[in-house]
Every structure is written in structure tokens, then in C-alpha cells.
Amino acid sequence: MQMVDHLSEFRKQTAGELRLHRIELALTKRELHVIFGLLLADISKLNLPKSCSISFPNGNDDLMNFEVSIRPDEGYYCCFMVVSLANNTNKCSTDLLLCIFSGGTFLFYFQVSPTYPHEAPKVKCKTKVYHPNIDLEGNVCLNILREDWKPLLNINTVIYGLYHLFTEPNYEDPVNHDAAAVLRDTPKMYESNVRRATYGGYVGQTYFQRCI
């Protein structure tokens, strides 16, 4: 008799757990539907620079995982000095300003959390790049992906933030400490290292695939 009672109680618990599981699944589907709607609205309103593009490798039904390609046409510049023969003084010619990242294509992978927009998307750089704010494993140091994220921000804001990493690399908040130290102490060497990495080659002991 006692065994029958235990079996009956077990069945009640199992049935209750199944009902709870169904409720949780329904809530999860509803939440995902809301997030899908938010993402669809965000993506449909994207206003990106011409040098940025977005793609969905898993198809358009999977908006929570996508890739963004950035091809900087402006950015951290190296500036060559030329001599003016007219007055024998040095001047900086804007014609000789060169963006050190120009011509490169840098691919970023986005994974959007089910708690978006209350949590920032997770972003990794799939292109190995010599940059103080992107380490060799692709981890990105960008304030709006961390402590400065707010639910009012969106995917467009993040992409612009990534784009501006190429305009203003920041050695004061690095994840690649070697690149940050070189940028801070010897900017000309930093410029040389970036070009070597972009065109494919070794920087120190690290090999970079050509991305230009």
C-alpha cells in the first residue's frame, strides 16, 4: 500500500513538473518572439557607413547570430611630412594622410542574448588584427559592450562603436597590452606593425593572415 502511495505521489510530481515545463517553454517562446521583433526593428533601421555590411550565415530566420563586416575607409592615420620648397618650412600635406587600416576587411560575429536589450550583444572579431582594443582571440574592449551598455542602445550603436575603434584606437583601455604599449610609446612602429599584420606576416612571434 505504501509503495502505491509513493507511486501516486511520484506521478503527481511528474505531471506537475511537465505542466511547469510547458509553461516555461511557452514563456520562452513568447520572450523570443518579443526579442525577434525588437531585433527585426533594429536591423530594419540600420543606418551604417557604406564600408559596413551585415550578413546572416544561418539564414534570415536566425537574427540572434549574425556577422558584420567593416572595411575602414578612414581611421587612425599616419602622416608624412613634406618640405615646402617655397618657404623652406615643413608642412603636413593632407594628400599624404594614409589610414593604416584602409583596405582591410574585419569580420565581427554577434550573438544576441535572450535578455536583449537589457544585456549587450556578445561580439567577437573573427579577423586577427593588431589593435590595442582587440586581442588575438578576438575579444573586443568597447565600453558600450560592458559597463556603459543601456537598453536604449541598439545594434546600430554597437556597429558604429566598432567602426570607431579603427578611427581612435585607445591605448588607455587595452586588451592587447603589447599593441597598446607600442601605440603609446612608438606610434611609427605601431603603424608599421598594423600594415605588416594587415598585409599578412609576423608581428613578433604572432602570424597574421592577410585581410586586405
Long-range pairs for 136-144: beta carbons < 8 A, 24 or more residues apart = 136/176, 136/206, 138/109, 139/175, 140/108, 140/165, 140/175, 141/173, 141/174, 141/175, 143/173, 144/120
Show which residues are catalytic: 141
Which stretches within the chain are classed as H helix? 2-44, 155-165, 177-185, 187-199
Half-sphere exposure of 62 (CA within 13 A, CB side): 10
